[in-house]
Amino acid sequence: MNVRGWIIKLFIIAGILAASSGCTPPNSKAMTPTLGSAVGDCDADKVTVTDVHWFKDAVGAWRVVGVINNDSSKEVNKVVTGVETMTNDNQPADQGEDVSAYPLDLQPGAQAPFTAWIDRDIPGLDHFIVEVDECVLAEQQERGEVDVRGGRMVVDDTGAAQVTAELLNPGSKTVLVNGLMAAVYDLGGALVTAEYVVVGPRYLSPGESGPVRATLDLPPDGVGQIKSYKFFMDVLVNQPSELPVDINQGVQIISHYVDAAGHFHLVGQITNPESTDLMTSLQATMYADPTRTSVIDAEDFTTWIPLQPGQTLPFDMVGWGPLDKIHGLWDTISGQSTIVVRVEPFLTWTTKARVANLPLEEEDVSFADQQAVFTGKVINNLGSSIINGLVTAVIRRKSSAEIVAAGIVHLNITDSVAPGQILIYNLAVPLPTNLNPATVDTEVTAWGQQP
């Protein structure tokens, strides 16, 4: 892989893993764009944010929403703003917030949603003002198009909007979906709120499709307001390197179930067929019917540590949207639903990494409350430091050795772990309802990655 490819992929991984800033929701996997260099000056005086409104979301943080207007003569790909916090006499309530927004190849005369997330108390706050400080022009590249199909918008049991769909590349060239946002509107067409998608495809080859899922917190009165949705994206023509994983050989879906808490699990395993180490990411699409005309939900899984040649890693895709947050949804669609899994080429590459198994001590597993709890110690016996590590737990039926549940936990490594150092792991794996612990076997494996 060339240097630029590594930088792009590390940028995305860092974005997924990053802790929250003043304006980034915690644990966000939001699919923000990768920016190239733009040529020419951007006239910030002709790019404005209007229709600004705000509300508190489910965790008590401020959502500041508005509309970006490009009244200049050139495409814009980034807007640097100051979100000012004001008192009722129009004085600053505190220091405000610098927020970068990505209107995704905003054409002259066009509009795109603006959103900012601010999680702090602001004494004396009466209103927000959003001022554009500077903007960045869109990179001049060949652009393509994708079709949006199978779309669906529902309000879940928590009062959030869930928007799902799939993107199809109808063209003859591979495209890169360079950032993707969803916005919801009221009956009059006014923007209610917007958010970057949680799951979305990046590379799509000709004729290929990939899932989209966005979760949008709504204002207190927003449930009755929303009537429509729209996706915003920048689609670039781009030719990735050849995908090193054959989806038909490397990935296997084994089972699915709903646990006692009502959360959906998609269990499977992925095998590295390459002769070198492999990083990859999987995306699963849940369709409401065999003809795949309506997308119900989507989720993804990333191998956070390189897979060794021939290594098989079990996975459990958890953290779904509507399937987890709309009571009884799975019961409604289970008889006709279809699940499709794809490998995301943007986050798939071969590498040369030093990964090895680590020994375990004081292993213990207990079954209670429809879950298996695995605890123990991992020892770094590799003779050098490790910079990354994970523990996997697998639960198999004694009668067939079939995997019925699996879990992964990342070792708590801030920088590196010296040789001989011990790390504690604690992993809870929710189980299918009515599973008898006496009918299963368990196994635990630990891996460590050296610098």
Residue that is last in its domain, among 348, 366, 400 = 348
| Per-residue confidence band for 222, with pLDDT thresholds at 50, 70 and 90 | confident
Taking 80 as the threshold, does the pLDDT of residue 348 lie above it?
Answer: yes
pLDDT at 105 over 80: yes
* Domains held by the chain: number: 4
Looking at the fold, whether 258 and 322 belong to one and the same domain comes out as: yes
pLDDT of res. 45:
95
What confidence category does residue 40 fall into, taking pLDDT thresholds of 50, 70 and 90?
low
Over 80: is that where the pLDDT of 18 sits? no
Residues 381 and 442 in one domain: yes
Q: What's the rounded mean pLDDT across residues 40-65?
A: 94
| Whether 200 and 251 share a structural domain | no
Confidence band (pLDDT; 50, 70, 90) for 13?
very low
Cβ-proximal residues to 161 (8 Å cutoff; 6+ apart), any chain: 153, 154, 155, 184, 193, 215, 216, 218, 222, 226, 229
pLDDT digits (tens, 9 = 90+) for 63-77: 999 999 999 999 999
Quick one: pLDDT at residue 19? 31
Non-local (6+) Cβ contacts of 352 within 8 A are: 276, 277
Question: Sorting pLDDT into bands at 50, 70 and 90, what band is 28?
Answer: low
> For 140-199, how does the pLDDT look when each residue is reduced to its tens digit (9 = 90+)?
899 999 999 999 999 999 999 999 999 999 999 999 999 999 999 999 999 999 999 999
| Domain shared by 37 and 119, yes or no | yes
Dist. CA 129–CA 263, nearest whole Å: 39
Residues 336 and 396 in one domain: no
Is residue 374 within 8 A of residue 442, CB to CB? The reply is: yes
Average pLDDT over residues 34-44: 72
Residue 274's pLDDT is: 84
pLDDT-derived band of residue 25, with 50, 70 and 90 as boundaries?
A: low
Instruction: Convert the pLDDT of each residue in 244-262 to its tens digit.
Output: 666 667 899 999 999 999 9
Asked whether residue 174 is assigned to any structural domain, the reply reads: yes
Same domain, 97 and 118: yes
Q: Write down the pLDDT at residue 139.
A: 86
Range of the domain at 411: 354-450
Average pLDDT along the chain:
90
Domain final residue pick, 320, 348, 376:
348
Q: Is residue 403 part of a domain?
A: yes
- Each residue's pLDDT tens digit, 192-216: 999 999 999 999 999 999 999 999 9
What is the CATH classification number for the domain harbouring 261?
2.60.40
> Do both 165 and 264 map to the same domain?
no
Per-residue pLDDT at 20: 31
Residue 35 lies in a domain: yes
Question: Shortest CA distance to 164 belongs to which of 128, 115, 216?
Answer: 216
> Which of 19-23, 230-234, 279-283 is predicted least confidently?
19-23
The answer to whether residues 163 and 51 belong to one domain is no
| Structural domain includes residue 220 | yes
pLDDT score recorded for residue 41: 86
Determine how many CB atoms are found less than 10 A away from the CB of residue 401: 8
Q: What is the pLDDT of residues 263-273, one digit of tens each?
A: 999 999 999 98
Q: For 349-405, how does the pLDDT look when each residue is reduced to its tens digit (9 = 90+)?
A: 989 989 999 999 999 999 999 999 999 999 999 999 999 999 999 999 999 999 999
In this prediction the pTM is 0.88
242 within some domain: no
Q: Is the pLDDT of residue 347 over 70?
A: yes
116 with 168, same domain?
no
Q: Taking 50 as the threshold, does the pLDDT of residue 15 lie above it?
A: no
User: Is the confidence at residue 276, as pLDDT, over 70?
Assistant: yes
pLDDT for 33: 74
We report the CATH number of the domain holding residue 444 as 2.70.50.60
Residue 432: other Cβ atoms inside 10 A: 17
Where a domain ends, among 109, 137, 165? 137
Q: Does residue 322 sit in the same domain as residue 390?
A: no
The maximal CA–CA distance of the chain, rounded, in angstroms, is: 73
